[in-house]
Amino acid sequence: MHNYNHILKAIQEEQKLLAVLIDPDKVVLETLPMVMNKINASIATHIFVGGSTDTYNKTENVVKAIKGETKLPVILFPGDYSHVTEEADALLFLSLISGRNSEYLIEQQVQSIPRLKNTNLEIIPTGYILIDGGVETAVQRVSNTKPMCQDNTDLIENTALAGEYSGKKLIYLEAGSGATETVAPTIIKRVKNSLSVPLIVGGGIRTKEQLEGAYLAGADLVVIGTAFEKNLSFFDHLKK
Question: Residues 136-172: pLDDT tens digits?
Answer: 988 898 899 999 999 999 999 999 999 999 999 999 9
Confidence at residue 114, expressed as pLDDT on a 0 to 100 scale: 95
Helices (H) and strands (E) in the chain, counts: 10, 8
Instruction: Compute the distance between CA of residue 217 and CA of residue 100 in angstroms, rounded to an integer.
Output: 28
Confidence at residue 232, expressed as pLDDT on a 0 to 100 scale: 79
| Contact call for residues 44 and 17 (beta carbons, < 8 A) | no
Taking Cα atoms as reference points, which of 49, 44, 109 lies closest to residue 76?
Answer: 49
First to last CA, the chain: 27
Instruction: Compute the distance between CA of residue 92 and CA of residue 75 in angstroms, rounded to an integer.
Output: 7
pTM score, whole prediction: 0.96
Work out the pLDDT band at 234, boundaries 50, 70, 90.
Answer: confident
Q: What are phi and psi of 71, to 5 degrees?
A: -100, 0
Confidence at residue 66, expressed as pLDDT on a 0 to 100 scale: 97
Instruction: Compute the distance between CA of residue 155 and CA of residue 130 in angstroms, rounded to an integer.
Output: 12
Confidence at residue 203, expressed as pLDDT on a 0 to 100 scale: 94
Q: 1 pLDDT exceeds 70?
A: no
Question: Residues 163-184: pLDDT tens digits?
Answer: 999 999 999 999 988 889 999 9
Please give the residue that has the higher pLDDT: either 2 or 228: 2
Q: Is 129 exposed, middle or buried (0-12, 13-18, 19+ CB in 10 A)?
A: buried
Question: Residues 179-230: pLDDT tens digits?
Answer: 899 999 999 999 999 999 999 999 999 999 999 999 999 999 999 987 777 7
Question: Residues 70-113: pLDDT tens digits?
Answer: 999 999 999 999 999 999 999 999 999 999 999 999 999 999 99
Instruction: Compute the distance between CA of residue 46 and CA of residue 222 in angstroms, rounded to an integer.
Output: 10
Q: 59 pLDDT exceeds 70?
A: yes
